[in-house]
Chains A and B, each alone.
Chain A
């Protein structure tokens, strides 16, 4: 069972906006540790999508945005495209485990 909770699946039609939630606790997100998001298309290695809650690495479109509040974080994608179909993982640091934690991942289906 992951320390960070993500819904198993999300879906949306092309052009729509979708959001992904990542719920933690007072030992990780709520302890003011940053949240990072990774995108993993089928059969490929993950790729950094958002770092330090809100920042996009160079090359990541501004359709992707992140936010954090309290013990939770969110990822939003606007203008959904077929190529966005992938698994999305949130990640942070946990003081209880004294290590990194990942969410269980959310599978995005583009209808």
Chain B
């Protein structure tokens, strides 16, 4: 079965960077994209961006352009999302999800809480 297992919770200071990993299993890793979505405490879902492992294509949300980088490692079937210059508004649960390629996701990771606090 499709599984996406994310790395553990992180606590970072403002201005620092964070990298969240997402290990996929149960399907050919290069056959689907990986999308990242975040959810601030008590708030709704916000699209962060996507990356396609088979060709490295990626697209990021305009408000995060310049601070977010998404990569994949096809040797370990793992996707990564790195967010730089963290601010308190980046505090959220970050989800990775499998992307079939038609502007949606069909399987989600368990989420990773990133807390930005001085």
Shortest Cβ distance from A109 into chain B, in angstroms?
Answer: 16
B53 within 8 A of A: no
- State which of B23-31, B79-87, B106-114 sits at the interface with chain A: B106-114
- Interface size classification for chain A: 20 to 34
| A47–B104 touching, CB < 8 Å | no
A66 within 8 A of B: no
| A102–B44 touching, CB < 8 Å | yes
B46 within 8 A of A: yes
Shortest Cβ distance from B91 into chain A, in angstroms?
Answer: 17
Chain B 88-118 interface 0/1 with A at a Cβ cutoff of 8 Å (1 = within) = 0000000100000011111111110000000
For residue A99, which residue of chain B has the nearest CB?
B61
- Interface size classification for chain B: 20 to 34
For residue A57, which residue of chain B has the nearest CB?
B106
Query: Complex: how many Å from CA A36 to CA B44?
Result: 15
Shortest Cβ distance from B37 into chain A, in angstroms?
Answer: 8
- List the A side residues contacting B102 at CB < 8 Å: 34, 51-52
- List the B side residues contacting A36 at CB < 8 Å: 103-104
| B106–A45 touching, CB < 8 Å | no
| B47–A48 touching, CB < 8 Å | no
